[in-house]
Amino acid sequence: MIGAAAVVDGLALALLAVALFSVTIRGLVSGVWLLVVQSLLLALVAATIGVSSGAAHMWAAAILTLAVRAFAVPAVLFRVLTAVALKRETRPLLSSRDALIVGVGLALTAYLAAGRLELTGAFPARQALPVSLALIFIGLLLMATRRKAISQLIGLITIENGIFLAGLIATLGLPLFVEIGIFFDLLVAVGVTAVLTLRINEQFDTMNTDELRRLRG
Amino acid sequence: MSLAPLLVAAPLVAALLCAAVARRAAAISALAATITLVVGAVVAFSSFGAPAEHALAGLMYVDALSGLIVLIVALVAAIAALYAVPYVRNAVGAHEIAPTEVRWFYVWIQLSIAAMFAVPLMNNLGLMWVAIETTTLTTALLVAFFRRGHSLEAAWKYLMLGAVGLGFALFGILLTYYAASHALGEAAAALDWAELRANAAALDPALMRVAFALVLIGFGTKAGLAPMHTWLPDAHGEAPTPVSVLLSGALLNCALYGVLRFHLLAAGTLGPSFSSDLLLGLGAISIAVAVPFVLVQHDLKRLLAYSSVEHMGIVALAVGIGGPLGLFAAAFHMFNHSLAKTTLFVAAGALGQRYGTLRLARMRGAFEVAPLPALGLVVGTIAITGAPPFAPFASEFGIAQAGFAGRPAALAAAVVLIAGSVLVFGGMLFHVLNVALRTAPRHLHVASFPFAAAFVCVPLVALLVMGIWLPPQLREAFSAVAAVLRVAP
Amino acid sequence: MNEVLASVGVSFAQLGLLVALAPGLSGLIKRMKAVLQGRKGPPLLQSYFDLVKLLRKDAVVSEHATVIFRWAPAVYAGCFATAALLVPVLWWRAPLAGWGDAIALVGLFALARFALALAGLDTGSAFGGMGSSREVAVAALAEPALLLALFAVARRSGGTDLSSASGFFVAQGVAAVAPSQLLALAAMVIVVIAETGRVPADNPDTHLELTMIHEGMLLEYSGRPLGILLWASLLKQIVLFSLVAALFFPFGIAAAPSEIPAALGGFALKLIVLALLMSLVESSSAKLRILRVPELLGAACALAMLALVAEVVVR
Amino acid sequence: MSVEGPLPGLMLTWQIDGMSLFFALVVLSISSVTTVYAIGYGRHHHGFPGSGLLYALFILAMLAVILAGDAFTFLLAWETMSLTSFGLVLTDHRRATVRQAAWAYLVMTHTATAFIVAAFLLFARTSGSLVFADWTAHAPALDPFVASIIFVLGLVGFGTKAGMIPLHVWLPRAHPVAPSHVSALMSGVMIKLGIYGIVRLSFDWLAPGPAWWGALILALGATSAVLGVLYALMEHDLKRLLAYHSVENIGIILLGIGVALVGRSLDLPGVIAVGLAAALFHVANHATFKALLFMGAGAIDAAVGTRDLERYGGLLRRMPITGACFLVGSAAISALPPLNGFASEWLTFQSLLTLGRVASEPQTALLPLFAGGALALTGALAVACFVKAFGISFLALPRSQHAAAAREAGALEVVAMGTLAAACVALGLGAVPVVSFIGQIVPSAGAPLAGPALGITGVGSGQLVVPGVAVALVALGALAVSLPRLFGRVRSRVAETWACGITLQPLHEYTATAFAKPIRLMFRDIVRPVRDVGIVHRVGTRFVASVDYRSHIAPVFERYVYVAIKDRLVAIAHVVRRAQNGSLQTYLAYVFAAVLTALLLAR
């Protein structure tokens, strides 16, 4: 058990590192690749818990993670990127350095906040819950500081990942049918968002959300 | 054998049929909406005063609260689907919708309706979340249906904020599940409403506080509670009008339903004060935030949207006030708001198509242009802003009375309610009168609006009657809802 | 039945007395003024001659005039005649006591003013309009001053009934002298000056368009109607004097039939004193600019309010 | 009597007692006359479709207000009354002023309703009931502080409807623009229901309170009376002028109520009786003559086509019956004997003096006495105002083509006006039976009668026999014109008016503006006149081509209170609106902040 927890802790820290890294980079393709890495790590977490606890549906979760988060979603995103021929996030609201500083600050906040929540009986990985909160915060940071629609989508998926991690740790996953529903939703969400992104690109000739500031008051 | 599954199934089938039989899409959609109206009414009225009922092997759960939402969704969906027929025809005529796209409009409308019916019927809170998330996705596409820049912008913000908010809600549900699986043991039933409600007292209080806070913010975003409401005026304002009707009349209530379920749960664990106070505060903030945007507004549908923010705030505030009267009035007000807002949006949509714009500055002389929609707009505004003798006054009066009789925070909230509704009354009426009166512009668009009298007058007369006398069936309905919403002191 | 007849008789006697004395009083004041100013002045009975002459003359009526113009003299005279019956003069109880009080008196004055001001507007003459406009403006302050003063008196005497007030002060004797009473008297005198159209509020002897108030309204009247109006305004003057006498110098008023001759003498004396006062005021002051008149009347209001304060506060 | 309402435990209750009966009589009698007028008026002036229904609903709603027995029913009727009258005010909605007036009216009255709701709910909080009778039963147990809050809230709410200054601003805007039969009902009857509310509130629902309640009403009444008539004098729009007179008369009614309320605090039944009798009598009287005057104004408006006094003139020859009725109304509203306005003002004076005599505290005694001075000022100014209104409209030469071509109103209108003119006379001469009737149905208002006279007995003295005064007036007036016949017969000759040697033109006549000028100057510190003089020179010369002179009154309350509040609100709204800046990032920040706050609260 202890060994498994340590593994999960390691994986969680890796997730955090990946997320912080994604804050600093500007390339959109690499951003999506980092999502793939996050998803793989999550699948590993699920698998580890599955091995250690013997819960069969954790395996299902791992496989679903691989299929949806690591394969389907990035595939859609790559399609969009190809369609709009876009490479880099230009002029984010924060420079890479500042974004990293804020990201680390948010991660610390997450540790502080999560420390107050006593999750007795959860999977005993101490890092996992703070990391999941940190992922949520970092996702929000990404959404709030990036101008490209696709970057905001990356942020949104980071948030989802954080929630998913928390779900894995805290409750060994939701009931399977709920989880399938959530995965399905994620897939549709990404699909719908992709469609919207394409349409926005078509309409405004850009994916810059600066254009999307006309509805006020 | 409950009819409840039919409510989800019928629109789904209708959606498939619409996709398959493009030429008859409008008729299919209208027929489906009529069927769900009848079935919804049957399901709803059999739920009031009866013990809660499970359907579809425990997947669905129908009590009075679900019944009320089902009733509202059925009513609003029927009006929206029926109104969509002339609306879409006019929009095609005005080259806003390509003829080939028409069927997809109905497909998405029916899918949205199916998801909205699913929300109040789901026994499992996780699946309820899934249903709510599904409504976001389907309606986001509808909001963007016109593919204009503004619609896309609105849809984008709606989707992003909705997704983030619902993410928090999911996190809250996870925590609830965690707390429940501890209390009830590892069980697939740990997120089932009936189980949770029965064992609420056994849940971990600290966890439930955080869970409720997250769910409140999450579903509150979807329900348009301030300060998470920012997507709402955009989406409601830019969507095709039948979609605005669905969003404002039905969907907001569905999201609020989610909040209410968790409120009951949290109150079961923590006692009523924590969640009630949060609802009270958020409700009061929503009312206060809506006021300035109503006073200074340039777009008719945005005006109505901010009014929705106010009214969702009022319902939240009413539940926060609690007590038999407050809860009865909350249920009553949900119903009133949906009916009145639906009428207002239909009237606004009809006028908007005549003028070719929804900018308040360009709309005038509506009484000359289209007397019935203009009447609907003016009388509907008077009704929804809580002027006697219309039903929203009765419900708001009940809420204020409960607030005045309650604890100091409730009294303060009731004062906010009264002050807010007066200011909103002045603001909305100013804009609406300027639309309805004055001299009409010379150039108008051609747009037909058959059965205008039925769309406009029937709901207004209903609101008038309910402001003075409530049919015993509805009285029983709202009492039953109040009984479900009752939290032990 | 006899009592009713007797009271009707007394009423007409009082009315007759005041109507008869009114032009004489005016002549007296004119004469006193003349003496004070070192002139000879008109004969005492000149006012009678003027009035009788007017009453015998044909009238010229404007082509634009309506019934208002024709009936205004009747209303105007009727008001002051009724007012003359509300004030106790010789007998302690006024003829119409119990039918009307101080407030009714003020109301009658207002009705008279209403009628005459409308008549002033009726012919379309700008002078008439000017007179009406000024008349109502001056009255706007004179009336509150009069009523406040009357209130001060009434609060002291126990009511607005003029006869009982008069009787109350007789019974009080010297004790009736009080700060409030003096202040009220001062206010009342100013009101009387303004209401009777005397210097410094108005000039009864001039017809100069730019200064006149009362005369402006009468400008289109001639012949008999003018005579009636002039006589009625003289009646107003003597009624006001009688009011001052009844409320502030009621001593010597008759309580028994045998005292009536003495009361008559006393009344004559009071009138002479008041006439002297008026002529002194008129001789020693200059006519105010029309727009300064409100200040004078404002002072009257202030005095009357002070009278009330004194009445309430000083025990 | 009660019916089930739309909320649990809510019964729509109806009640009738003497007070309701009295006000119902006022509503029914006046509205039946205005309806006759409306039928005649409607032959030439068609309202919008459904206006007849609204009119009927309006009357019904006024009755329902009076007969309501609980808060909810009352509010239903109350707001129905406001909404229907709002619809009727909008009849001429193509004019911007009408729309603004109607909007201002509805918003103000709705705000006032909110105050009433708050007061009612405080009652409900204490007594646990919405039924008026329960409030009365619980009144002694009410916390004095709460009672005072209720009183002030209710006073604001009902006072707005009554048109009490400073809550009056809607009244002179909304009343003039409505069709005249509606103005007659609004000004004559509807605002009285505000008085009804104040009377119910302070004499029925609340236990006797501190004396400052009554003193407050006295002060507000005096202010309303004086300012109302002053503003009326400055008006040259006939219907606006009449509307301001409603403000004045509400002030006079409030004086009576104030006296009665102070009397109630000091437990002086005699004072209560006189004050209430004066107020209620004046309610009936004002309803009668104000409805009459508004109908007259409507007839003139219909005949001349404008409400501007300066374009009238010479109407008495052209509309003799309307003129006669208007004259009666003018005399009545100016409180001239022997008409009804005089009788009720006499009672009001007496009530003020009575309180001034029996109150022991100096300030309690001085306030009503000074209010009496204000009332006297009001009366004198009212005379001035109606000399202006009647004289400029009906006398002298027509000042416009339209006035010269004016024709008498139709038969039904004339019948309606004649009825009310007769009622003005009858209510004056029959003051004693009327007051005794009021005393019978409203027992607490029963005292001010002394035998066959209106009179104050017990605490003071002063009597008035209106028929006696009338007889004396008529007899002596007749005598005054017939006695000179002793000097022989004289003839009268018709000639031109003297205009310094030129033929009199309408332009030479005194105008309404000029007529009011001395008073405008006297009270310039209060009414704040503004004059705009525009001089146009002939091109290239220093010769004056034309001079344009306009004078108006600075709308003090509108500008410094209501417009200021509205502007401030809108300014705040503009600032707050920036929060919705269109940026998704900002919105996400709001959500994030909300989450953090909620989590903080959840700790």
Question: Is residue D98 within 8 Å of residue D177, measured between CB atoms?
Answer: yes
D125–B contact, CB cutoff 8 A: yes
Q: Report CA Rg, chain A.
A: 17
pLDDT of residue D538: 85
Q: Do chains D and B touch (3 or more CB pairs under 8 A)?
A: yes
pLDDT of residue A181: 78
The DSSP line for B126-138 is HHHHHHHHHHHHH
**CA separation for the pair D521, D218 (Å, rounded):** 27
Q: Which residues pair with C49 in a beta bridge?
A: none
> CB-CB: which of A113, A145, A216 is closest to D580?
A216
Task: Determine the distance from the C-alpha atom of residue C138 to the mean position of all C-alpha atoms in its chain, rounded to a whole number.
Answer: 15
pLDDT, tens only, C22-70: 999 999 999 999 999 899 888 989 999 999 999 999 999 999 999 999 9
Q: Indicate which of B59, B145, B153, B431 best probes the interface with A, i.e. most A CBs within 10 Å of its own CB.
A: B153
- Give me chain B's average pLDDT, please: 93
Contact A200 B237 (CB under 8 A): no
Tokens describing residue C175:
């004790």
Tokens describing residue D15:
């009640």
What's the pLDDT band for D459 if we cut at 50, 70, 90? very low
Question: Is residue C279 within 8 Å of residue D337, measured between CB atoms?
Answer: no
- A51/chain D closest Cα distance in angstroms: 34
Q: Indicate which of D580, D583, D591 best probes the interface with A, i.e. most A CBs within 10 Å of its own CB.
A: D583
Query: Which residues between 274 and 303 in chain B have a beta carbon less than 8 angstroms from any beta carbon of chain A?
Result: 293, 296-298, 302
Query: Which residues between 71 and 110 in chain A have a beta carbon less than 8 angstroms from any beta carbon of chain B?
Result: none
pLDDT of residue A5: 80
What's the average model confidence in pLDDT over B155-168? 92
At a CB cut-off of 8 Å and minimum separation 6, what does A215 contact? B150, B153, B154, B157, B233, B234, B237, B238, D582
Residue type, B453: A
Burial of B465 (0-12, 13-18, 19+ CB in 10 A): middle
- Of D180 and D498, the structure prediction assigns the larger pLDDT to D180
Strands D449-450 and D2-4, bridge-based pairing: unpaired
Cis peptide bond upstream of D166, omega within 30:
yes
The DSSP line for C234-278 is HHHHHHHHHHHHHHH--TT-BSSGGGHHHHHHHHHHHHHHHHHHH
Residue D301 is inside which H or E element, if any?
helix D269-304
Tokens describing residue C61:
């009526």
Q: What are the Cα distances from residue D311, in Å, to B443, D402, D530, D550?
A: 39, 8, 22, 15
Question: Is residue B175 within 8 Å of residue B210, measured between CB atoms?
Answer: yes
Tokens describing residue D237:
């729009």
What are the DSSP E strand ranges found in D167-243? Answer: none
**CA separation for the pair A37, A86 (Å, rounded):** 21
Strands D492-495 and C59-62, bridge-based pairing: parallel
The dihedral built from the CA positions of residue D351, D352, D358 and D359, taken in this order, carries a sign that is positive
pLDDT at residue A119 tops 70 = no
- D171/chain C closest Cα distance in angstroms: 25
Interface partners of D (3+ CB pairs, < 8 Å)? A, B, C
Instruction: Mark out the alpha helices in C125-259 (DSSP H runs).
Output: 126-157, 162-172, 179-195, 214-218, 223-248
Percent of chain B's residues with pLDDT above 90: 80
How is the beta sheet containing D449-450 ordered, strand by strand? D449-450, D453-455, D463-464
> CB-CB: which of B144, B149, B177 is closest to A214?
B149
Cis peptide bond upstream of A175, omega within 30:
no
**CA separation for the pair D79, D312 (Å, rounded):** 37
Indicate the range of A191-205, D242-256, D417-431 predicted with least confidence.
A191-205
- Give me chain D's average pLDDT, please: 92
Q: Do chains C and A touch (3 or more CB pairs under 8 A)?
A: no
pLDDT at residue B178 tops 50 = yes
Instruction: Mark out the alpha helices in B356-407 (DSSP H runs).
Output: 366-369, 371-384, 391-405
**CA separation for the pair A87, A110 (Å, rounded):** 31
pLDDT of residue B381: 96
Kindly report the backbone phi and psi dihedral angles of residue D450, in degrees, each rounded to the nearest multiple of 5, phi listed first: -125, 95
Contact A192 B206 (CB under 8 A): no
pLDDT at residue B488 tops 90 = no
Q: Indicate which of A133, A138, A140 best probes the interface with D, i.e. most D CBs within 10 Å of its own CB.
A: A140
> CB-CB: which of A156, A171, A214 is closest to B174?
A171
- Token pair 């730019």 is at which residue? C210
With H, G, I as helix, E, B as strand and everything else as coil, classify residue B411. Answer: helix
Tokens describing residue D558:
């509108």
**CA separation for the pair B345, D523 (Å, rounded):** 53
**CA separation for the pair B158, B155 (Å, rounded):** 5
Interface partners of A (3+ CB pairs, < 8 Å)? B, D
Contact D464 C99 (CB under 8 A): yes
Q: Indicate which of C86, C224, C236, C239 best probes the interface with D, i.e. most D CBs within 10 Å of its own CB.
A: C224
Q: What are the Cα distances from residue B268, in Å, to B197, B198, B205, B217, C30?
A: 7, 9, 10, 19, 101
pLDDT, tens only, B406-465: 999 999 999 999 999 999 999 999 999 999 998 888 888 888 888 888 999 999 999 999
**Nearest one of D304, D323, D479, D406 to C66, comparing CA atoms:** D323
Contacting A with CB below 8 Å, chain D residues are 577, 580-585, 588-589, 592, 599, 603
Kindly report the backbone phi and psi dihedral angles of residue D388, in degrees, each rounded to the nearest multiple of 5, phi listed first: -65, -50
Length of chain C: 315
Cis peptide bond upstream of D338, omega within 30:
yes
pLDDT of residue C210: 65
**A67, A70, A76, A80 alpha-carbon torsion, rounded to 10°:** -170
At a CB cut-off of 8 Å and minimum separation 6, what does C282 contact? C29, C33, C198, C199
What's the pLDDT band for A2 if we cut at 50, 70, 90? low
With H, G, I as helix, E, B as strand and everything else as coil, classify residue C313. Answer: helix
**CA separation for the pair C23, C46 (Å, rounded):** 8
CB < 8 Å to D576, chain A = none
Interface partners of B (3+ CB pairs, < 8 Å)? A, D
pLDDT of residue A1: 46
Per-residue pLDDT of chain C in tens (315 residues, 90 and over written 9): 577 777 778 778 899 999 999 999 999 999 999 999 899 888 989 999 999 999 999 999 999 999 999 999 999 999 999 999 999 998 888 888 888 999 999 999 999 999 999 999 998 888 899 999 999 999 999 999 999 999 999 998 888 999 889 989 988 888 888 999 999 999 999 999 998 888 788 877 776 666 678 888 888 899 999 999 999 999 999 999 999 999 999 888 888 888 888 999 999 999 999 999 999 998 888 888 877 888 999 999 999 999 999 999 886
pLDDT, tens only, A89-110: 767 777 888 888 989 998 888 8
Question: Is residue C268 within 8 Å of residue C47, measured between CB atoms?
Answer: no
Chain D residue with Cα closest to C111 = D336
**Nearest one of D164, D326, D170 to D258, comparing CA atoms:** D164
Contact A144 D581 (CB under 8 A): no
Residue A71 is inside which H or E element, if any?
none
**CA separation for the pair B188, D566 (Å, rounded):** 58
Mapping DSSP onto H, E and C, the string for B299-321 reads: EHHHHHHHHHHHHHHHHHHHHHH
Cis peptide bond upstream of D452, omega within 30:
no
pLDDT, tens only, B363-417: 999 999 999 999 999 999 999 999 989 999 999 999 999 999 999 999 999 999 9
**CA separation for the pair B166, B218 (Å, rounded):** 5
pLDDT at residue B30 tops 90 = yes
With H, G, I as helix, E, B as strand and everything else as coil, classify residue A34. Answer: helix
Contact A185 B297 (CB under 8 A): no
What's the pLDDT band for D482 if we cut at 50, 70, 90? very high
Indicate the range of B115-124, B342-351, C126-135, C213-222 predicted with least confidence.
C213-222
What's the average model confidence in pLDDT over B217-224? 95
Chain C residue with Cα closest to D382 = C140
pLDDT, tens only, A139-198: 988 888 888 888 888 898 999 899 888 888 776 667 777 788 788 888 888 888 888 888
pLDDT of residue A55: 72
pLDDT at residue D559 tops 90 = no
**CA separation for the pair B172, B217 (Å, rounded):** 10
With H, G, I as helix, E, B as strand and everything else as coil, classify residue D559. Answer: helix
**CA separation for the pair D464, B131 (Å, rounded):** 82
What's the pLDDT band for B221 if we cut at 50, 70, 90? very high
Residue type, A24: T
Chain C residue with Cα closest to D233 = C137
- D346/chain C closest Cα distance in angstroms: 7
